[in-house]
């Protein structure tokens, strides 16, 4: 490599270094705007004031008390809906997560190797629905091209007794509707 080639390579690296430095500064500026953006979101993201306690759910589904410090970890929890202003809210959400995990396990157990094929409009896919006005459980048939992660489909319409032997109607309602008002905090272990 000649001296000229070495100097060209150095110049290229200096250019890249300068460019990356500018990009880092832009990203730092955006990061500093995050707390203000959350403030602008309004009541959906209620957060404690600095130094106030809040509750969160850890990876073992245990409710843990924390203190708000406007740190990245606090905002990560807030963005992932894991900041609760009261212990009762956190306990109810922990119970919901526990029930949802059980429900998913039962769906998988019942379905075995069956998988919903969303490209097959003729494949029937069944799910539980909940009519909140009458507190009735219903079975829905899905003849759709797509599904969501929030809906759990069964391979046939005979699944209802299978689920009802394993979960109460109140538990099923809580999972389907995400209505935490039906969850008793005392039920949480």
Which pLDDT tens digit goes with each residue over 64-84?
A: 999 999 999 998 999 888 999
Residues 58 and 115 in one domain: no
Phi then psi dihedrals of residue 115, to 5 deg = -130, 135
As a whole number, mean pLDDT of residues 20-42 equals 71
Residues 159 and 97 in one domain: yes
CB-count exposure of residue 110 (10 Å: 0-12, 13-18, 19+): middle
As a whole number, mean pLDDT of residues 165-189 equals 78
Q: For 149-170, write each residue's pLDDT tens digit.
A: 556 888 888 888 898 899 988 8
The confidence score (pLDDT) of residue 106 equals: 93
Residues 67 and 130 in one domain: no
Q: For 117-131, write each residue's pLDDT tens digit.
A: 877 778 888 887 776
**What DSSP string describes 96-115?**
HHHHHHHHHHHHHHHHTT--
Domain count, the chain: 3
Q: How many CB atoms lie within 10 A of CB 97?
A: 13
Residues 35 and 68 in one domain: no
Domain around 177: 89-187
The confidence score (pLDDT) of residue 38 equals: 60
Residues 103 and 76 in one domain: no
Residues 148 and 68 in one domain: no
């Amino acid at each position: 490599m000649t001296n000229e080639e070495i100097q060209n390579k150095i110049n290229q690296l200096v250019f890249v270094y300068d460019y990356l430095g500018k990009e880092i500064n832009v990203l730092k500026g955006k990061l500093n705007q995050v707390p203000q953006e959350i403030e602008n979101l309004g009541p959906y993201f209620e957060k404690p004031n600095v130094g106030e306690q809040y509750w969160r759910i850890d990876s073992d589904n245990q409710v843990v008390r924390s203190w708000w410090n406007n740190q990245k970890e606090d905002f990560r929890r807030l963005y992932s809906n894991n900041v609760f202003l009261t212990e009762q809210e956190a306990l109810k959400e922990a119970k919901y997560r526990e029930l949802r995990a059980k429900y998913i396990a039962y769906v998988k157990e019942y379905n075995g190797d069956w998988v919903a094929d969303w490209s097959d409009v003729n494949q029937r896919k069944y799910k539980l629905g909940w009519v909140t006005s009458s507190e009735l459980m219903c079975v829905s048939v899905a003849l759709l091209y797509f599904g969501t992660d929030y809906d759990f489909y069964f391979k046939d319409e005979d699944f209802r007794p299978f689920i009802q032997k394993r979960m109460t109607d109140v538990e099923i309602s809580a999972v389907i509707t995400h209505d935490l008002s039906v969850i008793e905090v005392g039920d949480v272990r």
